[in-house]
């Protein structure tokens, strides 16, 4: 018995140790298998690429400091010449296990010409290749897997990074404080950031393929760069992202199936000739001035933008941009626009435009089919805006009439934000994944005679929106027909079978029946009590 008890105690202790160590084991497995795992099919693709490399036996990590370090490294038989200019150095065909820490290759304070070719670098907690204060290098045809950064340059100028394969890293290629570099022809798959550049100027990023990560090309606080002819597919968040970046050119890129195709926050940038398909939003401009947007093709997406009136009216956006093969109309400071101003529109955006008529358009398959910003006294009527994220969207726009439109099968059919005194009448907003008609911080509007059926969340939702009239709407098959959140003073009446906020006597005779039922129960109880008293 004692032996069995001891065995049980030993087993329990072993199980406890395994449970305690499980986070460590899991973390190491994640590091070994890489970030953003995309499944066995993609893993096989990586393995095939790895097999194509010329490899040698696994070698130790490489650390070279200044020119003398290169001389010692070559004299020890670890590299060859022909890196050019006076026959500098080439590191090639090496397989380096980072051992779970540091960088596989670390080169510091080097001004000689060198190349790093055809190496396989893995199992680091930091960087596959790291260059610090390095100029005149060429990094070509490497395979970096399961490291924090595939290739990392800091304070390096006049370098070329080309034809590398950098998969399953936090950062595929990372440059900080580097100028006049070329990053071309690289493949970066399943990284959190395919190419990340910070505080860089006058660089060219061209011909790279970046797929299956979280972010494709991410550039921060950088100017006068060219992002040209890259292909980015199936990244979870942003294909190309520029933040606090000015005077850059983004041209001829293909971005498909990302949440944002191109996301830009900066001034005097040029976005031209890109193809942006099946993204939630093709191009998004945030707080940007004097940018030029032209010749872009956006299928099943479109343009979105935010900022103050001065910013929005500084943008140059013309009808050479196509949404689903039809022109994007972006009007600023106009009045009395009519159907002739929106011929065969793929998307309509009005900024500070008043007294206009937008009618009889089909702007389906667009993230915001009809989009009004700081625009008042307009009529939006008899349009079709299906299968977009927002069919019709108004922000800071007042006294508009929205009538007879159809906005089905998107996320939100009709959406108003910070907009007052609008009339929303006789529209159809069915089968949306969120809400048929949504008002946020929007007061004193009338919502009447609309049909909002079978929406996943709500037929009509009022959020922080006061003193609206909601009447005569048909609201069937929604999870909830009407929802109010932090509202006051709204009035509801005659909204079909939806009883929300309507008079107490909704079902004829219901309250009378309820009262009679209560009285009957009381009478029975009194009768029983009398019989009991008389009997005793």
The DSSP annotation for 227-296 comes to EES-EEES-SSEEEEEES-BS-EEES-EEES-SEEEEEE-SS-EEES-EEES-SEEEEEES--S-EEES-
More confident site: 439 or 190: 439
More confident site: 160 or 132: 160
Backbone angles phi, psi at 390, to 5 degrees: -120, 125
Structure confidence at residue 248 as a pLDDT band (50, 70, 90): very high
Q: 488 and 468 in contact (C-beta within 8 Å)? A: no
CB atoms within 10 A of CB 391: 31
Q: What are the angstrom distances between the C-alpha of 482 and each of 401, 440, 448?
A: 21, 14, 13
Which tokens sit at 149? 């950064």
- Report the sign of the C-alpha dihedral through residues 127, 36, 389, 464, in that order: negative
21-25, 293-297, 484-488: which range is least confident on average? 21-25
Q: Where are the domains of the chain?
A: 48-213
Return the pLDDT at 236. 92
pLDDT in tens, 349-362: 999 999 999 999 99
Ranges of H-type helices in 132-233: none
Report whether pLDDT(419) > 50.
yes
> What is the mean predicted confidence (pLDDT) over 220-228?
97
DSSP state letter for 324: T
> What is the mean predicted confidence (pLDDT) over 434-445?
98
Task: Work out the burial of residue 480: count CB atoms within 10 Å of its CB; fewer than 13 is exposed, 13-18 middle, 19 or more buried.
Answer: middle
With b for 16 or more beta-carbon neighbours within 10 A and e for fewer, the 94-131 pattern comes to bbbebeeeebbbbbeebebbbbbbbbbbbbbebbbbbb
List, in sequence order, every residue forming a beta bridge with 175; answer none if it has no partner. Answer: 153, 197
Structure confidence at residue 214 as a pLDDT band (50, 70, 90): very high
161-175, 197-211, 414-428, 515-529: which range is least confident on average? 515-529
List, in sequence order, every residue forming a beta bridge with 112; answer none if it has no partner. Answer: none
More confident site: 231 or 108: 231
Which tokens sit at 200? 């860089």
Report whether pLDDT(396) > 80.
yes
More confident site: 174 or 141: 174
Return the pLDDT at 165. 83
pLDDT in tens, 170-198: 888 888 888 888 899 998 988 889 999 99
Task: Work out the burial of residue 133: count CB atoms within 10 Å of its CB; fewer than 13 is exposed, 13-18 middle, 19 or more buried.
Answer: middle
Average pLDDT of the chain to the nearest whole number:
82
Return the pLDDT at 531. 53
Most confident of 68-77, 121-130, 452-461: 452-461
> What is the mean predicted confidence (pLDDT) over 98-114?
73
Return the pLDDT at 478. 97
26-35, 295-304, 373-382: which range is least confident on average? 26-35
pLDDT in tens, 75-100: 888 888 876 666 778 888 778 777 77
How many Å apart are CA 256 and CA 277, to the nearest integer? Answer: 5
């Amino acid at each position: 018995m004692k032996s069995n008890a001891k065995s049980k105690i030993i087993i329990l202790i072993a199980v406890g140790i395994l449970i305690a160590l499980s986070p460590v084991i899991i973390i190491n497995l994640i590091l070994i298998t890489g970030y953003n795992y995309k499944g066995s099919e993609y893993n096989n693709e990586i393995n095939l690429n790895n097999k194509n490399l010329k490899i040698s036996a696994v070698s130790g990590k490489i650390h070279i400091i200044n020119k003398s370090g290169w001389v010692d490294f070559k004299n020890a038989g670890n590299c060859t010449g022909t890196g050019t200019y006076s026959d500098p150095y080439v590191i090639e065909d090496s397989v380096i296990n980072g051992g779970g820490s540091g960088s596989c290759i670390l080169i510091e304070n080097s001004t000689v010409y060198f190349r790093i070719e055809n190496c396989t670098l893995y199992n680091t907690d930091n960087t596959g290749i790291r260059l610090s204060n390095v100029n005149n290098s060429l990094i070509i045809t490497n395979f970096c897997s399961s490291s924090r950064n595939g290739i990392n340059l800091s304070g390096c100028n006049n370098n070329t990074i080309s034809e590398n394969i950098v998969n399953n890293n936090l950062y595929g290629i990372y440059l900080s404080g580097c100028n006049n570099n070329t990053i071309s022809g690289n493949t970066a798959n399943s990284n959190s950031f395919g190419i990340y550049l910070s505080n860089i100027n006058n660089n060219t990023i061209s011909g790279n393929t970046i797929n299956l990560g979280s972010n494709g090309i991410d550039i921060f606080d950088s100017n006068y760069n060219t992002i040209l002819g890259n292909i980015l597919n199936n990244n979870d968040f942003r294909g190309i992202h520029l933040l606090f970046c000015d005077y850059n050119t983004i041209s001829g890129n293909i971005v498909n199936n990302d949440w944002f195709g191109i996301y830009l926050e900066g001034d005097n940038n040029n976005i031209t000739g890109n193809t942006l398909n099946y993204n939630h939003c093709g191009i998004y401009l945030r707080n940007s001035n004097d940018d030029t947007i032209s010749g872009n093709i956006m299928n099943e997406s479109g343009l979105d933008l935010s900022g103050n009136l001065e910013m929005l009216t500084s943008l140059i956006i013309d009808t050479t941009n196509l949404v689903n093969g039809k022109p994007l109309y972006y009007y600023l400071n106009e009045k009395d626009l009519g159907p002739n101003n929106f011929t065969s529109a793929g998307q309509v955006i009005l900024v500070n435009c008043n007294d206009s008529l937008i009618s009889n358009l089909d702007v389906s398959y667009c993230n915001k089919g009809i989009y009004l910003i700081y625009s008042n006294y307009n009529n939006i009527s008899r349009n079709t805006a299906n299968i977009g994220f927002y069919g019709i969207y108004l922000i800071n726009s007042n006294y508009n009439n929205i009538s007879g439109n159809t906005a089905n099968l998107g996320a939100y059919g009709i959406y108003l934000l910070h907009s007052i005194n609008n009339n929303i009448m006789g529209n159809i907003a069915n089968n949306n994944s969120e809400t048929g008609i949504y008002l946020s911080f929007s007061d004193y509007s009338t919502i009447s005679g609309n049909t909002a059926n079978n929406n996943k969340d709500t037929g009509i939702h009022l959020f922080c929106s006061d003193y609206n009239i909601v009447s005569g709407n048909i609201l069937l098959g929604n999870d909830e027909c009407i929802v109010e959140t932090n509202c006051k003073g709204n009035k509801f009446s005659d909204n079909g079978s939806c009883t929300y906020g309507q008079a107490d006597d909704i079902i004829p005779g219901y309250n009378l029946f309820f009262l009679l039922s209560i009285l009957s129960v009381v009478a029975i109880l009194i009768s029983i009590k009398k019989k009991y008293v008389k009997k005793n």
